């Protein structure tokens, strides 16, 4: 009888662990976001007219970014025509533009807010996004 009770108890604990892990709420990045970003520390050797005008200065911009995929990975596109891939691990988010080496890394603070840093060869800065 004790053996059956022990097996039943272990089975119940195992089922409870699976249920609680599977039901934990995960951050869902998919959807449309308003992305605010601020560049700083722009290298004086930045190539191209779009960066040359910002040499040694900073710049800020706002655009729409849409994440398409699932809670762990997928693609994104911006309102100005750029795209790339994203990954999510818990509350940590990152995305990389296909056309450049600009990487955005950050965390979600709730279902509708995230923020972090952006880095590339010529640009560094901060960003935040809301939906």
Measured CA to CA, the distance from residue 98 to residue 77 in angstroms comes to: 10
CB atoms within 10 A of CB 33: 21
Element containing residue 5 per DSSP (H, E): helix 2-23
* Residue ranges in 80-120 assigned as alpha helix (H): none
Question: Which stretches within 24-116 are classed as H helix?
Answer: 49-52
In the chain, what's the furthest Cα-to-Cα distance?
A: 81
Q: What is the CATH number of domain 27-130?
A: 2.40.128.120
The residues that bridge with 67 in the sheet, in sequence order, are 31, 76
Q: From first to last of its 131 residues, what are the pLDDT tens digits of the chain?
A: 667 655 544 555 554 554 444 445 679 999 999 999 898 765 544 455 454 444 455 678 899 999 999 999 999 999 989 999 999 999 999 999 988 788 999 999 999 999 999 998 877 899 999 99
CA distances (Å), origin 84, targets 35, 42, 69, 70, 103: 15, 22, 12, 15, 10
Strand partners of residue 127: 37, 116
CA distances in angstroms from 28 to 8, 73, 90, 109, 128, listed in the order given:
36, 10, 9, 12, 16
pLDDT of residue 98: 86
């Amino acid at each position: 009888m004790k053996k059956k009770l022990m097996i039943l108890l272990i089975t119940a604990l195992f089922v409870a662990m699976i249920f609680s892990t599977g039901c934990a709420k995960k951050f869902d990045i998919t959807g449309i976001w308003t992305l605010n970003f601020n560049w700083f520390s722009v290298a004086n050797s930045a190539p191209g007219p779009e960066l040359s005008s910002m040499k040694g200065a900073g710049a800020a911009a706002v655009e729409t970014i849409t994440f398409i995929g699932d809670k762990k990975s997928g693609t994104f596109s911006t309102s100005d025509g750029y795209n790339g891939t994203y990954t999510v691990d818990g509350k940590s988010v990152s995305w990389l533009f296909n056309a450049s080496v600009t990487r955005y890394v950050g965390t979600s603070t709730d279902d509708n807010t995230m923020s972090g840093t952006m880095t590339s060869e010529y640009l560094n800065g901060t960003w935040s996004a809301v939906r």
